[in-house]
Copies of this chain bind each other. A is one copy, B any other.
């Protein structure tokens, strides 16, 4: 299998899980001090990961959650941000300028910041109040904090069982998802690598995944033309320009919003002969119960699109590391 780094995939999962005790200590201390609300702040891909988590939390938790794009927060503000707010940020490089400024901004308000920053010597790692160097999926990192906050609020009684299953099975499971998704990803890439347009549809906690896949991977790293659209709004505009040969890709997950992507799929087949569904349900993970698959859908979908990336990179002969403008020009 092309560029299949089995050990790295498993390590990424387990590296996050290995930081659970550290996260618990930080979160428990904050819960003891008290906090009014949780701000999830990101930009680009980290904003999309925050969208995924917010989608889960707003229906499952009584904790007040605010999703903020770092650059927007800096200019628009948010009256709910205060010295009693808990802020969560993630960053690989630790020097994303808008997030660095946002952390300064929330500090001025007196809020505490937990950061999952991979580069421990970076400005962000130094700026946050609690730095956790977990080096894995942004969504999964933030989920650790969210589930502990929820457990402490009496809302996620399955906490210990959830993590027992993750620690025993998720690493191997994600490796198997990637292995199982590869053929379909290859077929997709070969058929669609040169398409003039890629529509990417998602719902619930995979709307962030669709938004991010189109923007951070297809546009930024693969130089492909995309439009991402939520399943909800697909029916309120975007449907009108879909024709027989339009390339429509649906990210289907297992949270409560699955009915919405089902609705898009059932309709779009009537007008389009070029629909591809990537469905987390096609990729079971042994040892992990069905009731946890909704929460895990962003992690499973990320494993699926990891293979789409590898295959598109090959089919397009476009190394994904190339950037022409991003972090190369000043803006």
Residues of A within 8 A of B (CB): 43-45, 47, 55, 58-62, 64, 69-72, 75-80, 98, 196-197, 203-204, 214-216, 219-221, 223-227, 229-233, 235-242, 255-257, 259-260, 263, 266-267, 270-271, 323-326, 329, 331
Given A62-B79, A215-B237, A70 and B232 contact (CB-CB distance below 8 Å):
yes
Are B329 and A267 neighbours in the complex by a CB distance under 8 Å? yes
Nearest CB to that of A267 among chain B residues?
A: B331
Give Cα distance in the complex from A146 to B257, angstroms. 30
Are B271 and A76 neighbours in the complex by a CB distance under 8 Å? no
Contacts A69-B233, A220-B237 given; 16 further ones with Cβ under 8 A?
A: A43-B236, A47-B232, A55-B72, A58-B76, A58-B77, A58-B80, A71-B231, A197-B225, A215-B237, A216-B236, A216-B237, A220-B236, A226-B227, A235-B331, A236-B326, A242-B325
Contact for A238 among B78, B215, B231, B239, CB less than 8 A:
B215
Given A44-B233, A72-B230, A238 and B266 contact (CB-CB distance below 8 Å):
no
Give Cα distance in the complex from A77 to B204, angstroms. 11
Contact for A58 among B45, B79, B219, CB less than 8 A:
B79
